[in-house]
Each structure stands twice: as C-alpha cells, then as structure tokens.
Amino acid sequence: MTEGVFGRESGHEQVVFCHDAATGLKAIIAIYSTALGPALGGTRFYPYASESDALDDVLALSKGMAYKNALAGLDLGGGKAVIIGDPATDKSEALLRAYGRFVQSLGGRYITACDVGTYVADMDQVARESRFVTGRSPEDGGAGDSSVLTAFGVFQGMRASADHLWGTPDLAGRRVGVSGVGKVGHILVEHLVEAGAQVVIADVSAPAIERVRATHPGVEVAEHPDTLLAAELDVFAPCALGGVLDDETVPRLRAKVVCGAANNQLAHPGIEKQLEERDILFAPDYLVNAGGVIQVSDELHGFDFARAKRKATALFDTTKAVFALAEAEGVPPVTAADRLAERRMSEVSRLRSILTV
C-alpha cells in the first residue's frame, strides 16, 4: 500500500476518491500541485489489479504532470485521474458523466484530458457535466489529436540535442532510428524525412510499418525493435513503450543521443547516470514530449493551432536550457530538468504573495 499520502514522501495537495455505485464509477483524482495554476492531466481508464495499484499510479502520474507542465512553460499545475475498470466493458455514458460531475465539483482545481483508455469522444461526454475538460473533439471546440504537436515537440528536442552536441540543429544526413511508428512516431518520421535525415524505423506491428513505407519508401526498416536499439545511429528515438532504457539495453546503445516520445523511458533511477557515463545525451522524455499537453491546454483559451505550435516550438530553447544547466551544475539532464521545473514552480507561486487588485 502506498506510504505517506499525507506525508512528505508524496507531497500531493489533494487526493479525491470518487464513487458512484449505480454506474460502477470508482475513480481517484490526484492533484500534485496548483503552484502554477489549475492541475491539468489526463484520465487513465485501466483495469488495475487493486485500488492500491491505482493509487500508486495516479500519485506518480500526477507528480510527473506537474513537472511536465512547469517545464513546458504553461500556467498549469499537475494532476491526473484514474478510473478503475476495463474501458472495453465498463465504460458508459452514465459512468463518464458521473465522473464529469466529480471533476466539476473540484471547481477547476483539476482539469482533465485523454490518456490511456480514454478518447476524444469520452471527453465530450465528461464535458457535458464539467467545464474543466480538454482533449474534446474539434467539432466541440477541442484540440483534436495531440500526437501532432507531441511529434513536433520531439523533433524540436532532437534539433536542440543536435545543436548541443554537434553545434548545429540541422539533422540532414543524421541517421535517426524511430522505434514505434504509431500516432506520434509516424508523424516524427515525416518531420525527419523533410529535414533530410536518414530514417530507420522499427515496430512490432506490420501495418504500422507499412503505413510509413507507403508514403516514404526511402525509409529503412530494421529487422526488429531490438536490432534498431543497438544499431549504428546518431539518434535513437523511443516512441513506443516506457522502460526501454535499462541495465541491459543502455550498454548496447550506439546512438549519441536518445530523444523520443515514449513516457518514462528510464526503467529506474540511476539509468540517467549510466547514459552519462557512456557519453549518451538523454533528452528528458517528459520535456520533449510536452507538445501534446501544450496542444490540449490551448483549448482553455479557445483552440488556436498556430499559437499552440508556437509554444511547442519553444521546447527547442527549453531543451537547450536544460542541457546548459546540466553542464553548469554537473548533473544529468533529467536532474537539471527537475531542477528547472522546481525553480519555476517555486518562483512563480511565490508571486502570489504580491497582492493585486
């Protein structure tokens, strides 16, 4: 069972348990921080083995969102929600609307969005009961598919990594391996091909590979994701599952840079040091994949793609700032990214002590 929900180990502001027996809704909303504004983060619909597992997950995910939103320069804190159940069988209009009423009851302290197991159509249902919803369908004023700016942000992070390492953001001629060409990966490939990079892809799904090959026949295909991980590359871009960098895989990497969309790429604390010892520049995942949250959060101001894209472009400068801080303070980039996020949360929230009218 999770220790210290009320203690320093957790550090969360508020954790809300939501139950509606009639619809079968069992949800937990965790607000890690509202230091920078309302806590934004998606709702995960997942068949957790236990309520304790669900609590652990939502506590970790909401903290991650606070750091991601802070680094992305958003005026938003971090939160996340989980609905316990099988999205394929337990999801209903009534359950989603019951959940929406709990979101509404928090008065805007928490703003929700899509995550694993929830989709744009679900957010449209939640939005029938709450004003505090993003990730709705474009017809409903929503931002649509967040993969578009997620991929664009990863591309900016990769350009910043190249600039830091090779003195130019130009990726022309660089050999880049994209592992996982799903919603984000395949758009990243588009940016890379346009930039003149030599792209190699891998995926466990043959249709996903075919979709890329149909539009870009020049893209190489690795035999297997595992082959790609150890291939001669300039940049390795994990765009599938988390935990891809571990004690077994890091020694086999030959790329100079790791920069991709997958969440939680480091399997456990300490891997960032192993990457550093091997002179591999790691662009923190929660920094470079923030384009998606930038895209959906723009809905709060009336969605404007051009404005959201401008904000995602700034991930280039933020990534460079993280690498510069890492060098200045002699720490790995993930530690520098954490420090930058913590500084922003503390400096900006302090301003609230200045009374305004």
Ligand X SMILES: NC(=O)c1ccc[n+]([C@@H]2O[C@H](COP(=O)([O-])OP(=O)(O)OC[C@H]3O[C@@H](n4cnc5c(N)ncnc54)[C@H](O)[C@@H]3O)[C@@H](O)[C@H]2O)c1
Binding site for ligand X (CB under 6 A): 146-147, 150, 179-185, 202-205, 208, 225, 239-242, 261-263, 289, 292
| Nearest residue (CB) to ligand X, 31 versus 149 | 149
User: In this structure, what DSSP letter does residue 298 have?
Assistant: G
| Nearest residue (CB) to ligand X, 26 versus 44 | 44
By Cβ distance, which residue is nearest to ligand X?
182
Nearest Cα to Cα of residue 133 among 300, 307, 302, 14? 300
CA distances, 221 to each of 21, 48, 227, 239 (Å):
50, 35, 10, 15
| Nearest residue (CB) to ligand X, 173 versus 242 | 242
- H or E element that contains 27: strand 25-33
Distance CA 28, CA 79 (A): 11
Q: Which residues are catalytic?
A: 80
In the block, residue with structure tokens 């002699």: 330
In the complex, what is the shortest distance from the CB of residue 152 to ligand X, in angstroms, rounded to a whole number? 11
Decide: 191 and 260 in contact? Cβ < 8 Å.
Answer: no
DSSP string, 123-142: HHHHTTT-S-B-S--GGGT-
Query: Residue 257's beta-bridge partner residues?
Result: 235, 281
| Nearest residue (CB) to ligand X, 105 versus 263 | 263
